[in-house]
Amino acid sequence: MSTYTQILYHIVFATKNREPVLRKNHRADLYTYIGDIVQKRDGHLCCIGGAEDHVHILCSLHPALALADLVKEIKTASSSWIKSENVFPDFRYWQSGYGAFTCSPETKERIAEYILNQEQHHATESSADELKRLLAETGVEYDVEYFE
């Protein structure tokens, strides 16, 4: 028997101290780089987006790959790439940790649209408030200390 899965992840991670260093002119390059990592690990990238201080990824993973391993690889490799290519000169590193939420096929399009419209969305909500809202909406408990 084969293995069949249908697990979509909405992954969110931020720059250290949510510093607004991911300038718009090179974000598409960063997204392409991250998308290549997902594909090389036999995942499927649905969409990717973000703002100056964080990234959102909507993807499915190969069943043999742990979510934590993929996020670690994305953050480690992209951090090295950013520094070696000097695409974001003020980037220091990614904040430790991340948010990850499963999504149903019925919500996939809505979440993808949300991810692709991050610039507009963050005109009215900070990335920290966004993450708190996502955690609350999905019932994930968190320590407010990490948001101070």
Q: Give bridge partners of residue 59 from the DSSP assignment.
A: 9, 45
Give the mean model confidence (pLDDT) for residues 57-64: 94
The pLDDT score that the predictor gives to residue 31 is 98
Using CA of residue 27, residue 28, residue 33, residue 34, what is the dihedral sign?
positive
> 61 pLDDT exceeds 70?
yes
The pLDDT score that the predictor gives to residue 119 is 87
* Amino acid symbol at 44: H
Going by C-alpha positions, the residue among 143, 32, 136 that lies closest to residue 97 is 143
Calculate ∠ Cα 119-8-83, nearest 5°: 50
Specify the residue for token string 């990238």.
Answer: 45
How do residues 74-122 score in pLDDT, each as one tens digit? 999 999 999 999 999 999 999 999 999 999 999 999 999 999 999 888 8
The pLDDT score that the predictor gives to residue 142 is 84
The pLDDT score that the predictor gives to residue 148 is 58
The pLDDT score that the predictor gives to residue 143 is 82
How far is residue 125's CA from residue 143's CA, in Å, rounded to a whole number? 20
H or E element in which residue 114 lies: helix 108-116
Give the mean model confidence (pLDDT) for residues 118-140: 88
The whole-model pTM stands at 0.92
How do residues 24-53 score in pLDDT, each as one tens digit? 999 999 999 999 999 999 999 999 999 999
Confidence of residue 132 (pLDDT cuts 50, 70, 90): confident
How far is residue 40's CA from residue 83's CA, in Å, rounded to a whole number? 21
- Taken in order of first residue, the domains within the chain and their CATH numbers are 8-147 (3.30.70.1290)
Tokens matching residue 37 = 């990592």
